[in-house]
Structure 1
Amino acid sequence: MAKYRESIEHREKVKVLSVSKYREDIQHRQRLKMMSVGKYREDIQHRQRVKMMSVGKYREDIHHRQRVKMMSVSKYRESVEHRERVMDSVRLSRKQRMEKSVDFGFVMEQFLEKVRDGPDFVCCVCHRLLFRNQVLSCVREVYGRSLATAGIADECICEKYLHRCNDQCVVPCQLVLCRGQLWICHTCYRKISAGEMPAECWSNNLDVDPVPPELGCLNSIEQHLIALHSPFMKMLALPKGGQNGVHGPVTCVPANITQTSNVLLRSSMEGSLVQVKLKHKLTYKEHYEYQFVDPLHVRQALEYLKRTNVHYREIEFNEEWINEFCRQEDGDREEAGSASEDEAGTGSEVAGQVVEKAEVDDLAESADIAQDEMLHDRQQHCMFQDTCLMPVDIGQEALDQYFDDIVNIAPAEGNSPVRMLSDWSNEAKSFPVLFPLGQKTFHDSRSYQLSIISTIGLCTAMVVLHVM
């Protein structure tokens, strides 16, 4: 034993003699097989070690995997007993699965096992985020059987999201499992193996444009302020699952982004924030969203979109950034001051008429606002109403008492909805952050057309990856 471990020449000589004896001596070969089978049955650690080695070799060695598949297929076709045994085992496993599917605990355990790793595996063809059971290991050599399949595979397979560890990775790297190798979904694998180009492939004008820093730093309300179209939809809580669903049609209304940008005060200092309430209509008390807005971020985003996005090039913004409303108020205040100086001697009679007229105007305006709010409440079917007893958001109502300078904005107020089916640029205008160049929407020309359902499912998975 010592000589076998220390001397390499002696070890190689013994191996060659053992291999030749195993091939030539039939009794020796049968004896070794029986010993191996007996050890595999009795020794649990040896059995586990052999299984792991076999699985590892099957995954890594392509020729070994193809040879095992061919042997399995030939044995299934030639041996009747083996075929019946395989069919019986499949029937038994299906029957056991059906019996166990009645048990909720078993179903939950199977589901948790499938979603244990999360949707972190990216298909190298369609760039969708999928779970582990929805993808296969992608090996380029498998598609080299024919020239057509090899050409399609070279065109479709992309290594954009393949992770290679470097000095910046944390040990152990968390991306090795999901991004350390190429993965491919079952749909793309089936189509490429059949010699077809997948319509979901990224090269079919479906590659997502990167989000620039000017748009990536925007919060949700700032994204609404720079959008050309404002989508309106009614969201209801679904009875199960804790998710929301869209109820009724989706309506898109053009937004007055020029007027909205002029309302926000200009500030060259980074970090100056403005409190903004986003409303459907300015006369409504409740708001859709209430956040702090950085006017500098909004201005930089609009400047970037005007340079790169095709839908923003014809829009003119106020470069001087003078608030038209403030300037109008200042002009009115100056006129009122000059008029008061000139008419100071004529006095009380004219002032009384002006005050009386102002009171009448205020009463008419308050009556119109009250009537409009009652109409809004009727349209809401007595839902989401704030009363004198309890406001919609009592916490926010308390915080608003400490802030006076709150900007109320309704970007789409007074505009008519657009036709979603006829306006092909509606996607890019509603979500400029996801389409910074205004291209690669559903209606763009492609070599292989996709249905609207396939596009929605594909874009949903790609947008999540795009945001990450």
Structure 2
Amino acid sequence: MPPKRRKCKHNSRAQRDKDKERKRRQRLSLKQVKRGEESTSDIDKPSTSRYQKLYKQNASYREKKLTASREQYKNMPYQTALKKSLKKRYKSNTQFQSLRKDYIKNKYRTNIPFHQAQKHFMINKYKTNVQFQQAQKDYMKKKYKLSKEYITQKYATDKDFQHKVKTLNLRYRRNVLYREKYKQRLSELYRRDLQYREKKKNLLEQKRKKGLDQIAVWFRQQVADGPKYICAVCIKFKFRKQVIQTNQDKYAKVKKTTEVAYQCICYQFKNDCTADCPVKCETINHKLWICYTCHRHLLKGTIPADAYANGLQLQTVPDELKSLNKLEKQLISLRIPFMKLVQLPKGNQRGIIGPCVSIPTDIQKTVNVLPLSDDDTQLIRCKLKRKQSYTGHCQYEFVNTTSIYKALHCLKDRNPYYKDISLNLTWHNDISSDFQDITLPEKNDDDHTNMEEEKDNTTQHNEEDENIKDLGFPHDTCLQPVDIGQEMLDQHFDDIFCVAPGEGSTPVSMMQEQGNEAMSFPVQFPDGSFGSFDYKRHVHLTRSRYFHARLLSSDDRFSSDSSYIFYAQYLSELEQVISKVSIALRKGTGKDRAGNAITASMLTDKTQLKNLLTTDQGYKFLTPIRGTPPYWQTALKDLLATIRQIGIPTWFATFSAADMRWTEVLYLLMEQQKSHQSLEDLDWTAKCEILRNNPVMNAVMFDHRFHTFLKEIIIKRSSIGKVKDHFHRIEFQQRGSPHAHCLFWIDDAPVLDEDDDQTVCDFVDRFVTCQMPDDTVDPELYEIVSSVQQHSKNHSKSCKKKGTTCRFNFPRPPSENTFI
């Protein structure tokens, strides 16, 4: 047996000291647990600061101390007592709680082994401990509800979390197998778990409603800002997306560009604050705006064709001409553009039927028979006729002869077309209230013999056209619709002043006669042809672009005159027809499809002419002209080709102009018309008058609103499904406002008679709802739906045609479910 080794005396003494220290610490820890008052640092308090300093500086001593603490922690009574003490202190001592959190967070970030251990511990605890799992879920739900920006802030601040989210998203996009498994797992969960299914449905419904509300708010913001930005070059009203803010210094890099910019940019619509202005104004009128088209021309050093400086300048309309009404304007015109205008229902907007004919007038003769009174406010009743023998009239209004004479004096002084007119200022007579002895008698019998001498039966007969009774109250080539109340009032007067300034005159060509536009509208062109289409310009300007510049100009003298609008439309279409006829004559072979030469005798023969028209040879050249039958025939062929390639359209939609409900449109028109009235104080008639005074801007606002809705809501956001293709046609309704008919082809849409009926019904229910809104929750929507989204409760004559019940089967019984 080997002898026992004798322990070193030094080691024995050190071991004894170590055991004593361990026992002392155990006793001290138990006392601390019982008291629960002293801090953990009190454990080391009996040790002097020398031991603390040694613990920090000596790694060997520190490792020994840590090993001893771990061994001590393995003692279960000690471990339990220490945990209980720390939990109690963590709950009661806020400072200790905050320090402990910071310590754990820092250790979790820096100590990788601790990080992994803690992570696995929490995962296992979450899987095994149901109570902990539910508590954690409730905590996270509460945290997300109280702070919805938590996840956003965490993603922005926590780089690890950000990297994890990016990795998962990238994996979902690139890994097809993972994506399919994830979808399959969610689908299986959706089918089996009723609670999860209801939760997802509610979330999707809330998301859909929230998305629709956000889209509606965004759309209203987009269409609220109308065309109120005036380009400093072409002086047109533009939308904000069509202009840029600029100054003349941007075009000062090149000499040519500088000269063109100096010549084209005008500052008459830019307001500058005076020196005594206390606040620097920042309205749109205090900035210089230029549209992108003019901006590109200026950068190239060229003058835009429709620039205001390109011969489109206009003189200010004198006060003598501003005060004239429509009939007084016609009486002072050298050319009267006779056209048949009708008053459309509901809004009393204007419509035109037939051509426009320019008739020379004898102003000298008309003025010499007009009585001149010393009373400037005296009015007489006057009818404008095409022929004195006709009972019907073109216009019927009160006229002030003094205003007419003042206007003619003004035109004689500044308009070269009126320099040879002599005014009769010798016939002064007081006009009595009953118009005795001064008015020409109006003939009440129809002179059929004289009317039969006219070649055009549509303009010679006095009876109304039966085909247009539903559109309004047309008269013989009327310029102003009839006022029924005025007609009834006229029955009490036997004498009315009647004039026919164009009687016996031969119509002139509006396109070939120089100055026809200026002579037809002397109020718009008080200085003659200056600024008209016939005026010589540096850059060629087509007739269509010229009228486009006039009607969209910030000067509303053109857009507010319905006669000028129809005059411009007729001339533009007439020029296109003449141009296309000329091209057709140059390209044509002069033979029909059978190879026979087309002669004049063939065109006079009704049968042969009908054959030419049947084969489209008679009007095929009109295809490029919008609105003509060949134009729509081409559009129809394109539509049928689309149906042949893609299939039957999924949706048919109609969008009508609710211009009386669009407050932003009314506010814009009132601002442009410089009206200071409040919109809430206006009745239906006043709103109709605002829309009637500027139909061009009303149509522009509808076009902008419709295309914004089509592009941003329907196509980009797929509000009715992913749109593969679409077709739309914009036309003007019976009341004169535009509306659009649309067809939409949706991707992956079910096909009727190919898919089962339930699939089709489910697809319809995804996008179509039929519900009466709650009048207390959303009274505005309730009023709209109840007034314009319901079939009329009062049946019209057409509804009960050939029977006593509605032939459209209204009212129809409601159904809870969609069916085919």
Q: Quick check: TM above 0.5?
A: yes
Check conservation: 1:377, 1:383, Cα contact below 8 A: no
Could you tell me how far 1:215 is from its partner in structure 2?
Answer: 0.9
What residue identity is the alignment partner of 2:393?
H
Matched, 1:224 2:330: yes
Task: Give 1:249 shift.
Answer: 3.3
Give runs of aligned pairs for residues 176-195 of structure 1, distance below 5 A. Answer: 177-195=283-301
Change in 2 beyond 3 A, CA 1:466/1:420 = closer
What is the match of residue 406 of structure 2?
300
Given the alignment of the two structures, is residue 411 of structure 1 paired with residue 496 of structure 2, yes or no? no
Residue 447 (structure 2) aligns with: 368
Gap change, CA 1:441 and 1:463, over 3 Å in 2: farther
Shift of 1:465: 3.7
Q: Distance in 1 between matches of 2:212 and 2:335?
A: 46
Alignment check: 8 A CA contact 1:229 1:426 kept: yes
Shift of 1:217: 1.3
Contact 2:328 2:404 in 1 (8 A): yes
How far apart, CA to CA, are the structure 2 residues paired with 1:372 and 1:121? Answer: 53
Aligned residue in 1 for 2:663: none
How far apart in 2 are the matches of 1:222 and 1:107? 50
Structure-2 change in CA distance of 1:113 and 1:226 (3 Å): farther
Contact 2:227/2:238 (CA < 8 Å) preserved in 1?
Answer: yes
Counterpart code for 2:390: Y
Amino acid at match of 1:461: L
Match of 2:308 in 1: 202
SS of aligned partner of 1:223 = helix
Q: Is 142-151 or 430-439 further displaced after alignment?
A: 142-151
Residue 235 of structure 1 and its aligned partner are, at CA, apart by 4.4
Q: Per the alignment, do residues 371 and 264 of structure 1 end up closer, same or farther by CA in structure 2, a change over 3 Å counting?
A: closer
State the shift of 1:42 in Å: 4.7
Q: Deviations over 1:348-400 (max 9, x none)?
A: xxxxxxxxxxxxxxx9x95635873995157946655899xxxx754222221
Per the alignment, do residues 285 and 464 of structure 1 end up closer, same or farther by CA in structure 2, a change over 3 Å counting?
farther
Cα offset for 1:426?
0.2
Deviation at 1:197, TM superposition (A): 1.5
SS in 2 for 1:291: strand
* Matched letter for residue 485 of structure 2: G
Does the C-alpha gap of structure 1 residues 135 and 112 become closer, same or farther in structure 2, counting only changes over 3 Å? farther
Residue 267 of structure 1, CA deviation: 1.4
| Partner of residue 460, structure 1 | 551
Aligned to 1:291: 397
- Which of 224, 227, 247 is the aligned partner of 1:139? 247
Give the 5 Å matches for 1:346-385.
Answer: 366=445, 368-369=447-448, 372=451, 376-377=461-462, 380=465, 383=468
Q: CA deviation at 1:137?
A: 1.3
Worse-superposed segment, 122-131 or 368-377: 368-377
Q: Kindly tell me: are residues 402 and 246 of structure 1, through their superposed partners in 2, closer, same or farther at Cα, counting changes over 3 Å?
A: closer
Offset at 1:193? 1.7
- What are the equivalent positions in structure 2 for 1:18-167 lying under 5 Å apart? 42=153, 113-165=221-273
Q: Any idea what the Cα deviations from partners look like across 1:116-167, whole Å, max 9, x if unmatched? A: 2433321111112223333221222222232222221122111111123569
1:274 aligned to 2:380?
yes
Q: Which residue of 2 aligns with 1:401?
A: 491
Matches within 5 A, 1:310-459: 310-321=416-427, 366=445, 368-369=447-448, 372=451, 376-377=461-462, 380=465, 383=468, 393-438=483-528, 439-459=530-550
Return 116-125 or 422-431, whichever deviates more: 116-125
Compare CA radii of gyration and give the structure with the larger one.
2
User: Pick from 233, 243, 249: which aligns with 2:355?
Assistant: 249
Secondary structure of 1:457 counterpart: helix
Distance 1:257 1:216 in 2: 19
Task: Tell me, yes or no, if the aligned pair for 1:204 and 1:448 is still in contact at 8 Å.
Answer: yes
Contact 2:374 2:428 in 1 (8 A): no
Task: Evaluate the alpha carbon distance shift between residue 194 and residue 421 of structure 1 in structure 2; reply closer, same or farther with a 3 A threshold.
Answer: same
TM-score w.r.t. length of structure 2: 0.35
Compared with structure 1, are the counterparts of its residues 112 and 303 closer, same or farther at alpha carbon in structure 2 (3 Å cutoff)? farther
Cα distance change on mapping 1:111 and 1:227 into 2, 3 Å: farther
Where does structure 1 lack aligned partners over 5 or more consecutive residues? 1-37, 44-102, 324-328, 331-362
Alpha-carbon spacing, 1:386–1:140, altered in 2? closer, same or farther (3 Å): closer
Deviation, structure 1 residue 177: 3.2
Q: Is the 8 A contact 2:390 2:462 kept in 1?
A: no
Alpha-carbon separation, structure 2, partners of 1:127 and 1:201: 8
Q: Say if 1:419 and 1:156 are closer, same or farther in 2 by CA, change over 3 A.
A: same
Offset at residue 234 of structure 1 (A): 3.7
Q: 2:239 is matched by which residue type in structure 1? A: F
Query: Which whole-Å CA distance do the structure 1 matches of 2:286 and 2:493 have between them?
Result: 51
CA distance in 2, matches of 1:262, 1:189: 53
* Equivalent AA in structure 2 for residue 411 of structure 1: P
Check whether the contact 2:386–2:500 (CA below 8 A) recurs between aligned residues. yes
Q: With CA pairs under 8 Å and 6+ residues apart, which has the higher RCO, 1 or 2?
A: 1
Q: CA RMSD in A?
A: 4.3
Against the structure 1 CA distance between its residues 140 and 167, is the aligned structure 2 distance closer, same or farther, given a 3 Å change threshold? closer
SS at match of 2:553: helix
Report if aligned partners of 1:114, 1:133 keep a CA contact under 8 Å in 2: no
SS at match of 1:252: strand
Per-residue deviation, residues 269-300 of structure 1 (Å, max 9, x unmatched): 22111122223333333333322211111001
Q: 1:168 to 1:395 in 2, by over 3 A?
A: farther
Partner of 2:321: 215
Q: Indicate the larger mover: 405-414 or 184-193.
A: 405-414
Residue 316 of structure 1: CA displacement? 2.3
**Is the 1:137–1:183 contact (alpha carbons within 8 Å) kept by the matching residues of 2?**
yes
Q: Tell me if structure 2 keeps the 8 A contact 1:121–1:131.
A: yes
Deviation at 1:435, TM superposition (A): 0.6
- Relative distance call for 1:233 and 1:319 in structure 2 (3 A) is same
Counterpart amino acid of residue 385 in structure 2: K
Residues 286 and 424 from structure 1, CA distance in 2 versus in 1: closer, same or farther, beyond 3 angstroms? same
Aligned residues: 328
